[in-house]
Amino acid sequence: MESYGSSSVGVGKPYKNTDDQAVDLSRTAHPNGKVAAEDSDSALADFLLANGFSRLHFGGRLEGQYRSQKPAISIGRHRWYLVCGLLITICFGVVDPLLAPDVYTVAWIFRYGLLTPMLTVQLLVSFQSFYPKVEALFSTVTICSVAGTLIFIMKFSDSPLATHYHGLLLLLVLYGNVMTRVKFWHSFSWSIIVMLAYYLNFGITVVSDPLAGYYSSLIAVVCLIGLLANYQVEYHARLDFLHTLLLNCEKERLERMSDELYRVAVVDSLTGLYNRRHFDEALATAWRDAYANETPVSLLFIDVGCFKRFNDTYGHQRGDQCLKVVADTLSRVERRPSDVVARYGGEEFVIILPGMGEAKAVIFAESIRANVESLRIPHRASTVMDCVTVSIGVSTVTPGPDCKPKMIVAQADKALYSAKEEGRNRVCIAKKTKLNLKSQLEAVTPI
């Protein structure tokens, strides 16, 4: 074994805060505020499902989440509805002279001077990102304008055929309640406006004209049916939202439980480093990668010197604190994201250094040894110094076809034993052993 005393290699780089360990374990972190908000949403969703929400309003954060979700009718389909409405508005101008020959010129002014530009503008605005915020206003104004035009024609035309515009008004009411993306309370508002406008103009003739009474009743019934349909659509959309929310909350809860189980399974509870189980898995992975890429793997075996005497002298609680400080030092020494620091057991730690050669591994190990010594943790029972020190065994292997990960562990352990036998507080390198049989065969094979 080759050994390096406590001053044979220069002191390593100073501590550097790295988040590599935190990155590896980031999947176990969940902000308390987020968890509390999810639990609050879940409780509110349960309450609403149990008690109903007849006013179609959740309130607070939950209402904001619902309004921000993707509507049941996509914006693309909504644009096609606008195009259809625009074409119908333009094409029906052809029948105005036939159904209302006495007022069709004024009707055309409304149809082509007001309604067509309004629908065109709404169609163009629908391509803008802010459209969802003004969609309800656009739809309400457009529907009320179309309804006003139809009511104007029916009011001022003396043609007997003008009564057919009642059918168009009924279709408009159904279209506005069912085919648009307007929420119930907006639909309720413009439906009331349309009904008031209709009854203010035709309510007096209901008694004297049975046909007018028939249409007046039909307008009310169609508005009621359209609103009921709109209400049911939104109510069930909100129901689906609540069920989806509960499923997502349950999924998040299960993920948190899974992450906690993962953390318990791979993290040492005392030091916060990875445990022996994760070390075995990480070493196997690094070994396979090194074999595939024909690169070396270095392993550091670290032992806290005279730790039993430390416990006997200062007590086990101080011993646990000492291990935490040493573990924190190991995790803070400058290293790469691929390196793995773990607690092997008791006062022993291990560090896997994939792709690192022996020379750099020795420098890295000496940096750790010097940093731990510089902590000056009192240890009057130590046989080496009056402070806590560590001994480190280093082994570097380029895996071959017949090599197993346990070989590098055994070599690093032997190197650690040598470091302790030679006086502790030092770094020892494992004796060279040609483990890469593939390289040996290539070296002796004649060309």
pLDDT digits (tens, 9 = 90+) for 316-352: 999 999 999 999 999 888 778 899 999 999 999 999 9
For residue 2, the model assigns a pLDDT of 47
Q: What's the rounded Cα separation, in Å, for the pair 11 and 74?
A: 65
Checking if the pLDDT of 15 tops 50, the result is no
Q: What's the rounded Cα separation, in Å, for the pair 64 and 68?
A: 6
**Which one is catalytic: 347, 348, 358, 422?**
347
Let me know if 347 is a catalytic residue: yes
pTM of the model: 0.55
Q: How far is CA 221 from CA 94, 173, 218, 228, 407, in A?
A: 29, 11, 5, 10, 86
Of the pLDDT bands very low, low, confident and very high (cuts 50, 70, 90), residue 428 is: very high
3-state secondary structure of 207: coil
**CA angle (408, 422, 15) in 5-degree steps:** 70
Relative to beta strand 297-304, strand 390-397 is antiparallel
Interhelix angle 131-156/116-125, rounded to 10 degrees, is 170
> Domain residues of the chain, as ranges?
43-247, 269-440
Residues 25-33 have a mean pLDDT of 43
pLDDT digits (tens, 9 = 90+) for 91-121: 888 988 999 999 989 989 998 999 999 999 9
For the chain, state the CA radius of gyration.
40
Report the run of H or E that residue 218 belongs to, with start and end: helix 210-266
For residue 113, the model assigns a pLDDT of 92
pLDDT digits (tens, 9 = 90+) for 224-282: 998 998 898 889 888 998 998 899 888 988 988 888 888 888 999 899 999 999 999 99
269-440 CATH: 3.30.70.270
Q: Which amino acid is at 243?
A: H
